[in-house]
């Protein structure tokens, strides 16, 4: 699963809509960066997930306005965690995945922008469908209230399918989307439906998120 590629398009959309007064006058460069949203050590220890990568993804574009060409830069943050699980005939697979994404809110001429703010959870998950080979998100199952980063958040659950070891497997997809300390946070958990109790692991990881904000 390629989280960096998944949200590159969202960053481009964000950059496109942020050309404002500072951009035109050339008084300052437009550069915005999110802070990482990561799972706490306690949550990882409780759930058995392991950190795979915490990295940033920066998109830079040149735009022309009022006879000037300026650069606009947006830096997003991604974190990925996995847990190996026994899938019977398919053997042991690192098929339980938890991914976070943080994107900065941009303020230009007293207006704020971020494409994630206006996207539904299902619209965000469509980015995963287009970038993650074999993942298809289906029907909504339920909503669950969890407490993450100091507030109650909605964790939505969907049915879906994914390709693991060459076979199609039924999976559950959990996703939360919310704003915290100047960034928009997305948390996504994916795992085979045959795993009992894995929903509680996703809840623990979501409730254990750490994020400083306003980097």
Residue-range domains of the chain with CATH:
34-54+77-211 (2.60.120)
Which residue is associated with the tokens 């899938």?
87
For 97-150, the pLDDT digits (tens) are 999 999 988 765 556 667 788 888 888 888 767 656 689 999 999 999 999 999
1 versus 189: which is more confidently predicted?
A: 189
Contact predicate 34/103, CB 8 Å = yes
Q: What pLDDT does residue 140 have?
A: 96
Q: What pLDDT does residue 68 have?
A: 59
Count CB-CB contacts under 10 A for residue 79: 22
For 175-207, the pLDDT digits (tens) are 999 999 989 999 999 999 999 999 999 999 999
**Mean pLDDT across the chain, nearest whole number?**
82
Question: Is pLDDT at 27 greater than 70 in this prediction?
Answer: no
């Amino acid at each position: 699963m390629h989280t960096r590629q998944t949200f590159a398009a969202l960053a481009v959309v964000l950059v496109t809509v942020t050309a404002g007064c500072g951009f035109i006058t050339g008084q300052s460069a437009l550069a915005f960066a999110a802070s990482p949203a990561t799972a706490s050590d306690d949550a990882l220890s409780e759930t058995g997930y392991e950190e795979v990568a915490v990295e940033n993804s920066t998109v830079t574009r040149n735009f022309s306005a009022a006879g000037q060409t300026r650069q606009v830069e947006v830096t997003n943050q991604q974190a990925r965690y996995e847990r190996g699980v026994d899938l019977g005939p398919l053997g042991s697979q690192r098929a339980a995945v938890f991914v976070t994404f943080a994107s900065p809110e941009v303020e230009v001429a007293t207006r704020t922008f971020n494409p994630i703010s206006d996207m539904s959870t299902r619209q965000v998950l469509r980015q995963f469908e287009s970038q993650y080979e074999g993942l298809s998100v289906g029907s909504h199952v339920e909503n669950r209230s969890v407490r993450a980063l100091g507030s109650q958040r909605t964790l939505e659950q969907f049915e879906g399918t994914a390709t693991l070891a060459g076979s199609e497997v039924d999976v559950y997809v959990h996703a939360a989307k919310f704003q915290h300390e100047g960034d928009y946070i997305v948390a996504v958990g994916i795992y085979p439906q045959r795993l009992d109790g894995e929903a509680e692991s996703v809840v623990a990881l979501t409730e254990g998120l750490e994020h400083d904000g306003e980097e």
